[in-house]
Amino acid sequence: MEKDKIILCMGSSCYSRGNRINLDLIRAWLEERKLQANIDFKGQLCTGLCNHGPVMIINGHVYENVKPANVITLLKNALNEKVSG
C-alpha cells in the first residue's frame, strides 16, 4: 500500500506564521495514533506560496492558510478514508 504523504512548508514565512507549531501538533497527532510508519511526513523549503501560507501538502493537494487551530481537523478530513479516529 502506498504511504500517505504530508509535506509541511518549512520556509521562513510559513514557519514563523504557524508551521513551527503545526509541526509539533502533527508529530504529536501521528504519534498518538501510531501512524508514523504509515505516513511519510516531511518538511520542504519555501513552496513559493508565501502569501497564502502556512502551506501544507497532503498527497499532492496544497492546503493554504493552515493554522494551528485547524491543522488537525484538516488532516483528519484529508486522510479520512484511510485513518479512523
Residues that bind ligand FES (CB under 6 A): 9, 11-14, 46-50, 53, 55
In the three-class reduction of DSSP (H, G, I as helix; E, B as strand; rest coil), residue 59 is classed as: coil
Query: Of 14 and 23, which CB lies nearer to ligand FES in the complex structure?
Result: 14
CB of 68 to ligand FES, least distance (A): 15
Whole-angstrom Cα distance, residue 35 to residue 63? 21
- Tell me, what amino acid is at 40? D
- Asked if residue 58 lies in contact with residue 75, where contact means CB atoms within 8 angstroms, the answer is yes
